[in-house]
Structure 1
Amino acid sequence: MTNHPVKKLPTVGDLGEQGILDVILPLLDSSKAALGPGDDAGALAVSGAEVIVSVDTLVQNQDFRLVWGSGFEHKAFDIGWKSIAQNVSDINAMGGVPTGAVISLSLPQNTTIQWVRDFAKGVSAAVEGLGAQRLSIIGGDLGKASEISVTTTVFGECEFGKILRNGAKPGDRLAIAGRVGSAGAGLAILDSDKQWENWNRSVARIADSQCKPTPPLESGPRAAQAGASAMLDISDGLIRDASRLAKASAVNVNLKSAVLKKFASRLDPAATLLGIDPMSWILDGGEDFGLLATFPQDVNIPEEFTVIGEISAQAGRRALVKVDGHIVNGSRGFDHFPVAADR
């Protein structure tokens, strides 16, 4: 039996910075930019008077693992997808439309060029698949690091005006659009000891919600046009983000569990596999990047939003979040730097 030598895949260290760029740039559409990658800075043609900006970072072993506890390999394509999804979600949460992005990619020297190519394909697929038609990748940066790190900055415009977190008023209805709890359930599946080869399709679909989140990009501008009073995306968990809205607006948020349980029922395959109450993912799971918005009583709420509660006046010194009238800890959910009380 003849042993054939294993073909060595080229790495970023083999090609150098320009060689890496030569691989990435043809995969990214910059045709909508006034000036795309290649100069010292990119340029966007701005039609309005104001540009909104958001930045976020994905770090290996903090925000994703190359191989999860379940043995599932986190694909470079999915990391590229998520780097776009989580940032365009922030623009969406202010009622805006994403128009441009720059990406800083730091890599270990032994990262394969195929990984880089797949990452760029994921970025491009997210722009198209999420419906961010006006978004153009206009530049970025490459660097060497001991672990993979992706920092993405996205710019956008608000045709119907900015929607902030501080506009909720007593009597407003509280509603969500998009997924809630799916990404949290997906994270639990990915990092469990339930090996991925044994997942059924329903479980695999939930796990994919963590790897490739799908923020409802048309819903942000539609909510702004309808007259939403406050809005933010659910990135760190419904309770934690509802608490942020309550604090910013100096109001109380009152959630109704009966409505939320309808969302929880969709997570039954993960709950059965792991033996976990799916409501924990609904209340505390983040990274679905759905929208949490408040609407005055005289406003017609867009049909993709589901009313899950209401806003009431703040009675004491603290803005509170309640579920069925019971106060819950607003610091629940995800925090990069949890204090002792959160642990």
Structure 2
Amino acid sequence: MTNTTVGELSEGKLLERIFPRLDPGTPLVGPGDDAAVISAPDARTVISIDTLVQDQDFRLTWASGYGSTGFDVGWKSAAQNLSDINAMGAVPTSLVVSLTLPAETLVSWVEDLADGLNAAIRQLGASRCSVVGGDLGRGKAIVVTAAVTGDLQGRDPVRRSGAKTGDVVAVGGVLGQAAAGLALLEDSRSEAALPDSLRSLVHRQSRPRPPLILGPAASASGATAMMDISDGLVRDGRRLAEASGVSIDYEDAALRGFANELSEASAHLGVNAMEWVLGGGEDHGLLACFPDGTELPEGFVGVGRVLNGGGVSVDGIQPGTSGWDHFER
């Protein structure tokens, strides 16, 4: 049955292959009805949505020869959505997933995607979350859209707009690793020949690991502003600065530590690692601001200051790297 395609099954039969692979969690009403019902103990619900499109956000076969598995795409879909809830200081409580699939898609690939969704939720620590429903459709390319809900646990959401002059700017998680992994995937040399130390960066791109424990920790520590780093430290920093009416000045020396971790990939591809650190997204770490003097939660590293004015700089100089934009060329 490994060569069976989705076009050979009915929608109901395909769902019968997917549902048993998902942890049911504890929704009040789960998959199988017209809609799911989940509890909302805080009386407020945080919600976000993200989409992965074939050949835009992932490739089934990369220039390096690496093939994106369904597990990779399922994991990444879950991770980027869970990260958005994390960035509000909340904890994830449910996912609903919509799949658009060409008829020739292998059923085994879709089963693998369900496994990836489930594994990411469990392994990233979203213990209150599960896939509670979704939708299936037919199309010319694979599209995975997931919507996620979260619980604020009695705290106010940490928004982008609260940074104050004098705040410490901090990063939770890693920087540049997913971008380095993307560059390795797009490199025409064979991924199979990479040493394990570089292959781990490919996995950081295909299966990012947002630090879900850090969002609620930052909220509890009084973070004034926070956001998910999905499009690069420079671009996302500008977004936070604009929302707060301030400027952000990163410290080159503080960012060098992240770049040094990428020295092997930098030498292999002939790329300045700081380009990945400043412009690469999809590690899905956190960019947060804390009042001066606050003890940063474990897992955060101070990387700069909030100043008067607008925009983003590094040691007072505007960086040339812009970051990712879906519609910019």
Task: Give the structure-2-normalised TM-score.
Answer: 0.98
Deviations 1:5-26 (A, max 9, x none): xx87111111110011000001
Q: Match of 1:57?
A: 51
Out of 203-212 and 320-329, give the one that drifted further. Answer: 320-329
For the pair 1:323 / 2:309, whether they are aligned, the reply is: no
Contact 1:176 1:293 (8 Å CA) reproduced:
yes
Corresponding residue to 2:77 among 68, 80, 83: 83
Paired AA for residue 195 in structure 2: N
In 2, Cα distance between the equivalents of 1:66 and 1:253?
Answer: 38
In 1, Cα distance between the equivalents of 2:140 and 2:188?
Answer: 27
Q: Match of 1:332?
A: 322
Deviations 1:89-132 (A, max 9, x none): 00000001000110000100011111111110001100111000
Q: Look up the SS of the partner of 2:171 in the other structure.
A: strand
In 2, Cα distance between the equivalents of 1:123 and 1:32?
Answer: 16
Contact 2:101 2:137 (8 Å CA) reproduced:
yes
Which runs of structure 2 are paired with 1:78-157 in the superposition (5 Å)? 78-157=72-151
In 1, Cα distance between the equivalents of 2:184 and 2:176?
Answer: 12
In 2, Cα distance between the equivalents of 1:254 and 1:246?
Answer: 10
Q: Look up the SS of the partner of 1:336 in the other structure.
A: coil
Q: Match of 2:208?
A: 213
Paired AA for residue 228 in structure 2: D
> Number of residues paired by the alignment?
328
Q: Look up the SS of the partner of 1:91 in the other structure.
A: helix
| Deviation at residue 300 of structure 1 after TM alignment | 2.0
Corresponding residue to 1:41 among 12, 29, 35: 35
| Deviation at residue 298 of structure 1 after TM alignment | 3.8
Gaps of 5+ in 1: 1-6
Out of 156-165 and 218-227, give the one that drifted further. Answer: 156-165
Q: Match of 1:174?
A: 169
Deviations 1:61-101 (A, max 9, x none): 00000000001111110100000000000000000100011
Paired AA for residue 118 in structure 1: D
Out of 124-133 and 319-328, give the one that drifted further. Answer: 319-328
Paired AA for residue 156 in structure 1: G
Paired AA for residue 260 in structure 2: S
Paired AA for residue 321 in structure 1: V
In 2, Cα distance between the equivalents of 1:285 and 1:278?
Answer: 10
Contact 2:224 2:291 (8 Å CA) reproduced:
yes
Paired AA for residue 326 in structure 1: I
Moved over 4 A (4+): none
Which runs of structure 2 are paired with 1:126-275 in the superposition (5 Å)? 126-159=120-153, 160-275=155-270
Q: Look up the SS of the partner of 2:10 in the other structure.
A: helix
Contact 2:118 2:130 (8 Å CA) reproduced:
no
Q: Look up the SS of the partner of 1:291 in the other structure.
A: strand
Contact 1:206 1:267 (8 Å CA) reproduced:
no
Q: Match of 1:4?
A: none
Gaps of 5+ in 2: none
| Deviation at residue 328 of structure 1 after TM alignment | 3.0
Deviations 1:13-47 (A, max 9, x none): 11110011000001111231111010100110111
Query: Percent of pairs identical after alignment?
Result: 47
Contact 2:63 2:186 (8 Å CA) reproduced:
yes
For the pair 1:69 / 2:63, whether they are aligned, the reply is: yes
Larger Rg: 1
Task: Give the structure-1-normalised TM-score.
Answer: 0.94
Corresponding residue to 2:297 among 277, 299, 302: 302
| Deviation at residue 270 of structure 1 after TM alignment | 1.1
Paired AA for residue 124 in structure 2: L
RMSD: 1.1
